[in-house]
């Protein structure tokens, strides 16, 4: 009865508010100007009743709770019509070397690869507890310096490490991630721990759920040591506790939004970490910090238990120090729990072996021409050619198939919907950045994107999907400067996979990178080519001097 009375009072209050907020022809005229429309006086007069009816519906809807994790019942899938998603998973054999020894200087463990650490664990040359303690100590030592850790999870980590050691003692070895420490971007929920989204309004939030990403890595035997920083609500590197730092230059930020994941991995605070990307959030910090980041095909990893920014753009992927490490992590990460409408079960048949002479490789000449002749990216072409690759120069289709800023319409509309309650409650005023280019203002502006324009932008997006797939399927790998043209927006909209990795240093002494673009669901090829490059070079083995000791 009390709930019924409350509802009646709410509806009465709603009726009073409605009387104050009636639409009229003057308001319609002003609104039409914001949407590139023009109506006659008679048309506006006819619209008044329907718009006020709509307003009533909106007001009633606004009486209902709509949390960030409330499902969106429409799934985005990146594959064009007629595309067959590969589902037959072959057996994958990971090359775990047998002759890895503990270093005389244990600090060198900080930069061992996942296969090297796996060898030590599997052959009982070090316990998971000892390895976990080692990385927890490094997180405590350097986490504040880099401002990359939001929550340490030592109790959970040591419990999982003990369980890993006991299973291995019994001969129940799960694979190369068994007993290996890692970190999660703090937009993935883990029961019993805060999930802050890097943002002041949510800094004490605890979600009673384990994210799919966490449960996948737990099944693989990996050990969660920390929840790592992200820019507020997955934008840039400024969060409620500071600005995550670039390990190569502590005066600069690490970029974002997977800021802590890249910074901690490159500094050797963890062997690997998990990030997410909506529009550059794996690519950008990997480029800036010198990590190897994999942005998988959209829908490859269920996002259950993760903060929603954009239902049709959010993707989870590994940030590591090598392509081989990224391949291992992705293999155990991929999959679906049936709770994310866009996630699919798909194959990842990675061997790590590739015959460069047999691959169709291209590079975007129209982007490369904007680089200086001494830019490290040119060296990528030379290295691969020396290894036998035949590389064709092509023009990456940019304005020809991307005629307007589709990305801005899509990401703005979806993110504003995901954080509708934040805007309505005025809790967005607590966010540190309040300039016109940050989320609070973006969410407000996006309230005025008509549903018609959002839907039509996605229809143009489908044209883009068809056109870009027609282009990319002519090649196995396309080499792109990481920030060339509009490709970052375009390939996020179409859901294509990329791997970004360090290829040298700029004149400022900071890492620079290259991006390999692959066909949908073909991460295996671009990772194998990245591995071939890394086997022929040593850029991925360079580490920031401050953190080597």
Q: What was the pLDDT predicted at 333? A: 98
Is residue 8 scored above 70 in pLDDT? Answer: no
Q: What is the mean predicted confidence (pLDDT) over 241-258?
A: 98
Average pLDDT, the chain: 95
Lowest-pLDDT range of 11-15, 18-22, 282-286: 11-15
Q: Which token pair is 474?
A: 């002519």
pLDDT in tens, 434-447: 999 999 999 999 99
pLDDT band at 373 (very low <50, low <70, confident <90, very high): very high
Q: What was the pLDDT predicted at 351? A: 97
Q: What was the pLDDT predicted at 414? A: 98
Q: What was the pLDDT predicted at 368? A: 98
Contact by Cβ (8 Å): 224, 182: yes
DSSP string covering 481-534: -TT-TTHHHHHHHHT--EEEEEEEE-TTS-EEEEEEE--TT-HHHHHHHHHHHH
Please name the residues in contact with 538: beta carbons below 8 A apart, sequence gap of 6 or more: none
pLDDT in tens, 204-216: 999 999 999 999 9
| 392: β partners | 362
| CA–CA distance, 151 with 92 (Å, rounded to integer) | 34
| CA–CA distance, 319 with 325 (Å, rounded to integer) | 9
Q: What was the pLDDT predicted at 4? A: 34
| CA–CA distance, 174 with 211 (Å, rounded to integer) | 21
pLDDT band at 549 (very low <50, low <70, confident <90, very high): confident
Is residue 432 scored above 60 in pLDDT? Answer: yes
Q: What was the pLDDT predicted at 200? A: 97
> Quick one: DSSP state of residue 270?
S
Q: What was the pLDDT predicted at 22? A: 83
pLDDT in tens, 189-206: 999 999 999 999 999 999
Share of the chain above pLDDT 70, in %: 96
Q: What is the mean predicted confidence (pLDDT) over 316-321?
A: 98
Task: Print burial letters for 121-130: b (CB count within 10 Å at least 16), e (below 16).
Answer: bbeeebbbbb
Half-sphere exposure of 187 toward its Cβ, with a 13 Å CA cutoff?
A: 33
Is residue 2 scored above 50 in pLDDT? Answer: no
Which residue in the block uniquely carries the two structure tokens 């002041």?
A: 200
| CA–CA distance, 366 with 471 (Å, rounded to integer) | 15
Pairing assessment for the beta strands 245-246 and 477-480 based on DSSP bridges: unpaired
| Residue scoring higher pLDDT (396 or 23) | 396
pLDDT band at 16 (very low <50, low <70, confident <90, very high): very low
Q: Which token pair is 335?
A: 């999959």
| Residue scoring higher pLDDT (446 or 15) | 446
Which residue segments constitute the domains of the chain, with CATH numbers given? Answer: 17-64 (no CATH), 111-346+354-399+460-541 (3.90.1300.10)
Is residue 62 scored above 50 in pLDDT? Answer: yes
Q: What is the mean predicted confidence (pLDDT) over 294-318?
A: 98
Q: What was the pLDDT predicted at 20? A: 52
Which residue, 315, 11, 265, is CA-closest to 138? Answer: 265
pLDDT band at 139 (very low <50, low <70, confident <90, very high): very high
Q: What is the mean predicted confidence (pLDDT) over 296-302?
A: 98
Q: What was the pLDDT predicted at 82? A: 94
Q: What is the mean predicted confidence (pLDDT) over 9-13?
A: 39
Q: Any idea of the CA torsion for 297, 301, 306, 307, to the nearest 10 degrees?
A: 20
Q: What was the pLDDT predicted at 21? A: 59
Half-sphere exposure of 442 toward its Cβ, with a 13 Å CA cutoff?
A: 20
Pairing assessment for the beta strands 498-505 and 477-480 based on DSSP bridges: unpaired
Lowest-pLDDT range of 113-117, 221-225, 545-549: 545-549
Half-sphere exposure of 71 toward its Cβ, with a 13 Å CA cutoff?
A: 11
Which residue, 194, 328, 336, 350, is CA-closest to 274? Answer: 328
Q: Indicate whether this model's pTM tops 0.85.
A: yes
- Backbone region of residue 436 per phi and psi (left: phi > 0; alpha: psi in -120 to 50; beta: other values): alpha
Q: Which token pair is 459?
A: 């229809």
Q: What is the mean predicted confidence (pLDDT) over 168-193?
A: 98
Share of the chain above pLDDT 90, in %: 95
Is residue 18 scored above 80 in pLDDT? Answer: no
């Amino acid at each position: 009865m009390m709930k019924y009375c409350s509802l009646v009072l709410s509806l009465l209050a709603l009726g009073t508010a409605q009387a104050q907020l009636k639409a009229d022809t003057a308001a319609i005229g002003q609104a039409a100007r914001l949407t590139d429309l023009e109506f006659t006086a008679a048309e506006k007069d006819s619209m008044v009743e329907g718009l006020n009816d709509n307003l009533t519906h909106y007001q009633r809807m606004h009486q209902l709770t709509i949390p960030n994790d409330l499902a969106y019942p429409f799934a985005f899938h990146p594959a064009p019509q007629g595309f067959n998603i590969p589902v037959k998973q072959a057996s994958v054999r990971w090359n775990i070397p047998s002759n890895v020894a503990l270093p005389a200087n244990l600090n060198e463990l900080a930069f061992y690869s996942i296969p090297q650490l796996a060898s030590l664990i599997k052959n009982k040359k070090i316990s998971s507890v000892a390895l976990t303690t080692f990385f927890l100590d490094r997180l405590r030592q350097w986490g504040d310096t880099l401002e990359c850790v939001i929550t340490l999870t030592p109790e959970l980590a040591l419990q999982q490490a003990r369980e890993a050691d006991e299973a291995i003692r019994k001969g129940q070895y799960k694979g190369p991630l068994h007993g290996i420490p890692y970190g999660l971007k703090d937009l993935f929920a883990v029961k019993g721990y805060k999930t802050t989204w890097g943002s002041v309004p949510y800094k004490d939030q605890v979600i009673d759920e384990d994210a799919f990403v966490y449960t996948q890595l737990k099944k693989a035997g990996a050990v969660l040591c920390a929840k790592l920083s992200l820019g507020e609500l997955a934008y840039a590197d400024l969060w409620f506790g500071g600005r995550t730092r670039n390990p190569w230059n502590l005066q600069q930020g690490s970029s974002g939004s997977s800021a802590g994941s890249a910074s901690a991995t490159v500094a050797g605070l963890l062997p690997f970490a998990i990030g997410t990307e909506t529009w550059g959030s794996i690519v950008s910090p990997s480029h800036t910090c010198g990590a190897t980041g994999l942005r998988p095909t959209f829908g490859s990893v269920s996002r259950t238990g993760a903060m929603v920014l954009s239902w049709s753009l959010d993707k989870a992927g590994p940030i590591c120090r090598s392509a081989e490490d990224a391949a291992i992590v992705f293999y155990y990460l991929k999959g679906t729990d049936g709770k994310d409408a866009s996630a699919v079960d798909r194959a990842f048949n990675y061997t790590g072996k590739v015959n460069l002479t047999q691959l169709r490789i291209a590079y975007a000449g129209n982007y490369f021409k904007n680089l200086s002749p001494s830019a490290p990216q040119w060296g990528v072409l030379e290295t691969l050619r020396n290894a036998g690759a035949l590389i064709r120069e092509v023009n990456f289709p940019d304005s020809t198939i991307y005629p307007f800023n589709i990305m801005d319409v899509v990401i703005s509309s979806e993110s504003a919907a995901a954080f509708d309650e934040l805007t309505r409650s005025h809790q967005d005023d607590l966010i540190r950045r309040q300039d016109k280019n940050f989320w609070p203002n973006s969410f407000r502006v996006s309230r005025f994107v008509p549903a018609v324009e959002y839907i039509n932008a996605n229809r143009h997006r489908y044209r883009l999907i068809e056109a870009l797939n027609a282009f990319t399927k002519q090649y196995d790998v396309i080499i792109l400067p990481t920030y060339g043209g509009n490709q970052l927006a375009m390939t996020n909209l179409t859901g294509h996979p990329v791997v970004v990795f360090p290829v040298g240093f700029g004149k400022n002494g900071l890492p620079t990178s290259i991006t390999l673009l692959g066909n949908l669901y073909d991460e295996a090829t671009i990772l194998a080519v990245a591995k071939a490059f890394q086997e022929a070079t040593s850029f991925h083995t360079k580490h920031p001097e401050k953190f080597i000791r």
